[in-house]
Chains A and B, each alone.
Chain A
C-alpha cells in the first residue's frame, strides 16, 4: 500500500502547486498596490490599491475623517481589554472595575463632547469598532442572561420553566435577520410617542436576546453533564440554591461547555455582520459601501478578502484561546 500513499501525496502536491502558482501571481506578482483604479483595471492581478485607498473608510466608516484616531484608539483599547482579561492572573474582582473604566474611556473617545473632543453621534460610528462593540456587549450581556435561562429551563417551578423554554424556542426558531428587522422597524411602533430608542441600541438588544437563547442551550448541555452526586453533596452540606449553583455546579458545567461556548461565540461574532441590513455600518457594511463608488466597482474580491482576514484574525484568536483553556 505504500505506493498508493506515495501516489496520493504526489498528486495532492501537484494539485496544490497548480493552484498556488496562479494565486501567488494574482495576489502578489501581478498585483497593483498603488491606489490607482485605472492601473488596477489594466492589470491582471489583485488590486490592493483599493484597500490602500479605502482602508480608512472600511475600518472607521463614516466617522469624521480627521477624528479617526479616536475609533482607532478605542479599537486598540478594546482589544487590549480582551487580551488582559484572557490572562489567568487578572481573573479577580477588580477585573470588573478595569472593564468599567476601559468601556467608559471607549465611550468618551467615541462620543466625545468632553475633554475638548467634538461630539460624534453614534449614527456616524462604523467599521471595525462597531463590530467589536456589538460583539463585546452582545456576549457580555447575553452570557449571564443565558445562564439564567439555562437554570430556569431546569427549574422545578413550572411557570419559570415554561417561560424559559418558550423564550429559547421562540428566539431560536426565527432567523436573526427577522429579529433585527423587528427591532429596527416594529419595536418603534410599539413604543409610546415621544420615546425613541437609538437604532444602534435596538440592534444591540436584538443581538443580545438572540445570542442568549443559543448560549442558554450550550450552558444547559454543560449543566446536564454534572452528575447527580454533586447536587447530593451540595444539598447535604446545606448550600442554598444560588451558592450551590455558583460555587459547585456552574464552575464545572461551564468548564465542560468551553468548546461549544466558544463555537457559539465565534458564530455570534460573525453574525453581528447582519446588522448591515438595518443600515448600521459594521465592518462588512463599510466594505460593501466602499464598493459602490464608480471608480472602484468590481474589486469586490479584494475587499472581501480584506474583511475576511479581519474576521478571521479575531475568530482564530478566540479558538486558539479556547484550545489553551481546554488543555488546562
Chain B
C-alpha cells in the first residue's frame, strides 16, 4: 500500500529524514513512535505529499509521488488524514465539513453526500452534532468529526498524526475507541502516537524513529518485550516509566 525507499527530507540545514525506508501492506496497521523531532510527522506527511521529499521514492497504492499534480491528486483522494489539531473548517457546520470534499472533489450528489456524512457521524457516535459549528464541540468530539470527515472520502488508507496529543485525558479514550473500531474493519492505518496501549492492541508493527531514521520496526509484542536498540529501550523506559 505504501512503499518508501531511501527517502530524504531536510528543513533548511536540519535533516528531518535520513534514508528512511518503510513499507506498509494493505490492511496493515503501523504505529510510528519516537521522541519529538524524530521525524514521525514528516514521515507520514510525505505519504499524501503535505511535505515534498528530496530524494528517494514514495509509492502509494502503486502511484509514485513526484511533482506531477495529477498523481498527487490521485493519492490524496485515496488517503485520509487526521491531524493533531483537528483542522476542522471553523466557518462550516459539522455536516458541511463532512460533505465539502465529497461534493466538490468527488462530485457526489448532495443527497448522497449528506447520507454518507450522517452514516459516518453515527459511526463516530455524534449524529446529534451535525448542525453545530466545530467551536461548539469538545476536543474529543472535534477529533471524531475530523475522522468522519476523512472517512467520507472513502479512503483506502488513513493517516493519523498524533490524533490524541491535543486532547484532555478524559477525551482520549473516545477517539481511540473509534480508531480501534476502524482498525478492526480492516482499514490500512499509519498512526503516529504515544498511546502505547493502542499500539499493543491494534498495531501489526511498531516503527520506532529517532534522529530522522527508522531504528527498528517489529510486531508490538517483540518491540515492547525485547527492544533491540538502546535508543528504543531508553524511549520506552521514559514513556512507560511514569
Contacts and interface: CB of A to CB of B under 8 A. Distances in A.
Interface of A: 227, 229-230, 232-233, 235-240, 243, 247-248, 251-252, 255
A238 B102 CA distance: 10
Contacts of A232: 50, 81, 83, 87
Interface stretch (B15-23, B32-40, B71-79): B71-79
Contacts of B85: 229
Contacts of B188: none
Contacts of B87: 227, 229-230, 232-233
A298 to B, nearest CB: 56
B88 A236 contact: no
B92 to A, nearest CB: 8
Q: Which 3 A-B pairs have the closest CB atoms?
A: A238-B76, A233-B87, A237-B101
A268 to B, nearest CB: 26
Contacts, number: 57
Task: Classify chain B's interface size.
Answer: 20 to 34
Main secondary structure of the interface of A (DSSP, over half): helix
12 contacts: A230-B89, A232-B50, A233-B88, A236-B79, A236-B83, A237-B105, A237-B150, A238-B73, A238-B77, A247-B104, A252-B89, A252-B91
Contacts of A233: 81, 83, 87-89
Contacts of B141: none
B104 A243 contact: yes
A236 B48 contact: yes
Nearest to B101: A237
Contacts of A248: 89, 100
Most buried by A among B83, B101, B149, B153: B101
A232 B161 CA distance: 12
A252 B90 contact: yes
Interface string B53-91: 000000000000000000001001101110101011111
Given A232-B83, A235-B50, A238-B105, 5 more contacts: A235-B48, A236-B79, A238-B76, A238-B77, A255-B91
B81 A236 contact: yes
